[in-house]
């Protein structure tokens, strides 16, 4: 996992902010990049949740929101009446915060997880919510007095923001693309054409092949990091390859019955890359990669094949897939200006045959006033329309697996721990570790 920060490249962000007030009066999403616009239109959402040794009331929650928007001013963008970069008045704080009293924490945080569609119900409210459940009789046997959750439009926050806020660090974005690092003109033109063609093909195929809306489910797991570290070393693979393999192998199933694919699992996974270029999005730091994992019944063979696949992808140019995707976002936004009815609902339900998205967010380690009293495990995940997602969130002691998936896959999540137990007991042969094996910092 490469390092990450809240730094941005020199650009015209300050000038844009000077014009922000007038722009958002005409269009609340005027400051959104094409990538942000796409996630906003799709009503994609993200969440962060954790237990705390401290109790909360509405005033304390309001103070927490004030700290959040000071560190991440993009949270003040995107809604009718927004004043970018300015503190929220009390009526807005009251509208986006809530506190409930509970007897026990049984079922949390899973019982809280949802598509968070309520975020988009009112156009005059900020695109995030902060909620707390407080134990009626004070801390439980584990010292937990409350559980907190932040839910947001994905247009405003990504995994690196969550990690930075967890450390009470600034998560403002500025201009993330490096205008001085220009891709060749021919490559940019080719990517733009591919992006436009991809948008057209997706629109056509979506209206023909989009599935019906499926029953959806949410689930979390917490695994001790030392278990994953020891097993990855034993197998001679990257830790992220091990996590990708555990999830996809367990959810796909063994033997003749396969729940995702009998031959190849199509996956997208995300990572941070500090080598930016002028075609990168000006807001998001994340970069998407495309992978295909050949299905194998033997897990040891499978995880090593996954590791080889990951190594092969990352030794090549990892910018090309994201460049095309960014070009597609731009094409869709341009089309929407001409035909506001597009993209339609069928478009959002079409995932192009991708079986799963695997997102490894930067390490979340609590530090400072923002997360004082919060305890591991820390949970961080996302929901995208009709996209099966597993978000891996590493902390100091635990890695949490956060699932947003078709209900039929959620039923198999418990098999992951069983598979982990089984492989730990196996006597596996020696294997030469792939070069540049990362550790989760």
Does 311 share its domain with 228? yes
Q: Give the integer Cα–Cα distance in Å for 103 and 140.
A: 10
Does 146 share its domain with 211? no
Q: Say yes or no to pLDDT of 204 above 60.
A: yes
Q: Total domain count for the chain?
A: 2
- Above pLDDT 90, what percent of the chain? 75
Nearest-10 Cα torsion for 118, 122, 124, 127: 20
Tell me the CATH number at 402: 3.30.559.30
Does 297 share its domain with 390? yes
* Residue 274 lies inside a defined structural domain of this protein: yes
pLDDT interval class at 87 (50, 70, 90):
very high
Residues spanned by the domain of 303: 185-425
* Residue 319 lies inside a defined structural domain of this protein: yes
Q: What is the mean pLDDT of residues 390-410?
A: 97
pLDDT in tens, 208-234: 999 999 999 999 999 999 999 999 999
* Residue 388 lies inside a defined structural domain of this protein: yes
* Residue 345 lies inside a defined structural domain of this protein: yes
pTM greater than 0.85: yes
Q: What is the mean pLDDT of residues 331-348?
A: 94
Tell me the angle at which helices 320-338 and 34-41 cross, rounded to the nearest 10 degrees. 70
Judged by DSSP in three states, 35 sits in: helix
pLDDT interval class at 13 (50, 70, 90):
very low
- Going from the C-alpha of 16 to that of each of 13, 23, 83, 139, 436, the distances in angstroms are 5, 9, 13, 47, 40
Q: What is the mean pLDDT of residues 352-363?
A: 94
Contact 246, 238 (CB under 8 A): no
Burial of 234 (0-12, 13-18, 19+ CB in 10 A): middle
pLDDT in tens, 254-295: 887 899 999 999 999 987 766 777 778 999 988 888 999 999
* Residue 171 lies inside a defined structural domain of this protein: no
For residue 17, whether the previous peptide bond is cis, meaning omega lies within 30 degrees of 0, is no
| Contacts of residue 80, Cβ cutoff 8 Å, sequence gap at least 6 | 28, 123, 124
Does 229 share its domain with 367? yes
pLDDT for res 437: 45
Does 235 share its domain with 360? yes
* Residue 192 lies inside a defined structural domain of this protein: yes
Does 249 share its domain with 112? no
Core vs surface per residue 195-219: b (16+ CB within 10 A) or e: bbebbeebbeebeeebeeeeebbbb
Tell me the CATH number at 100: 3.30.559.10
Judged by DSSP in three states, 239 sits in: helix
pLDDT in tens, 136-160: 999 999 999 999 999 999 999 999 9
pLDDT in tens, 304-314: 999 999 999 88
Residue position matching structure tokens 């990892």: 318
């Amino acid at each position: 996992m490469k390092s990450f920060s809240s730094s941005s490249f020199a650009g015209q962000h300050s000038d844009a902010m000077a014009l922000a007030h007038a722009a958002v009066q005409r269009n609340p999403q005027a400051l959104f990049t094409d990538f942000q616009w796409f996630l906003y239109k799709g009503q994609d959402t993200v969440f962060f949740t954790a237990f705390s040794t401290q109790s909360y009331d509405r005033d304390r929650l309001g103070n927490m929101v004030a700290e959040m928007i000071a560190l991440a001013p993009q949270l003040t963008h995107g809604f009718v009446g927004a004043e970018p970069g300015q503190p929220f008045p009390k009526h807005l704080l009251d509208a986006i915060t809530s506190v409930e009293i509970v007897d026990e924490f049984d079922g949390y945080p899973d019982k809280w997880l949802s598509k968070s569609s309520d975020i988009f119900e009112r156009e005059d409210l900020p695109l995030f919510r902060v909620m707390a459940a407080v134990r009626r009789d004070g801390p439980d046997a584990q010292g937990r007095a409350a559980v907190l959750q932040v839910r947001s439009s994905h247009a405003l926050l990504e995994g690196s923001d969550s990690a930075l806020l967890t450390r009470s660090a600034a998560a403002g974005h500025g201009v993330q693309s490096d205008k001085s690092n220009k891709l060749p003109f021919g490559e940019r033109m080719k990517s733009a054409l591919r992006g436009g063609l991809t948008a057209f093909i997706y629109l056509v195929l979506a209206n023909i092949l989009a599935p019906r809306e499926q029953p959806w489910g949410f689930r979390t797991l917490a695994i001790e990091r030392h278990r994953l570290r020891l097993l990855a070393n034993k197998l001679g693979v990257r830790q992220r390859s091990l996590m990708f393999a555990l999830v996809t192998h367990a959810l796909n199933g063994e033997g003749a019955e396969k729940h995702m694919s009998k031959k190849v699992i199509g996956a997208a996974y995300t990572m941070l890359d500090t080598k930016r270029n002028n075609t990168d999005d000006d807001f998001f730091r994340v970069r998407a990669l495309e992978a295909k994992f050949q299905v194998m019944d033997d897990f040891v063979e499978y995880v090593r094949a996954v590791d080889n696949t990951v190594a092969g992808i990352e030794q090549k140019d990892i910018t090309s897939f994201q460049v095309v995707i960014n070009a597609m976002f731009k094409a869709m936004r341009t089309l929407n200006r001409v035909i506001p009815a597009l993209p339609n609902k069928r478009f959002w339900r079409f995932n192009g045959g991708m079986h799963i998205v695997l997102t490894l967010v930067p390490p979340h380690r609590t530090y400072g006033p923002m997360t004082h009293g919060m305890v591991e495990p820390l949970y961080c995940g996302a929901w995208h329309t009709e996209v099966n997602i597993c978000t891996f969130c590493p902390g100091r002691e635990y890695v949490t697996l956060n699932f947003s998936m078709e209900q039929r896959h959620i039923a198999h999540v418990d098999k992951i721990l069983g598979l982990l137990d089984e492989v730990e007991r196996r006597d596996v042969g020696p294997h030469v570790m792939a070069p540049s094996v990362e550790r989760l910092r």
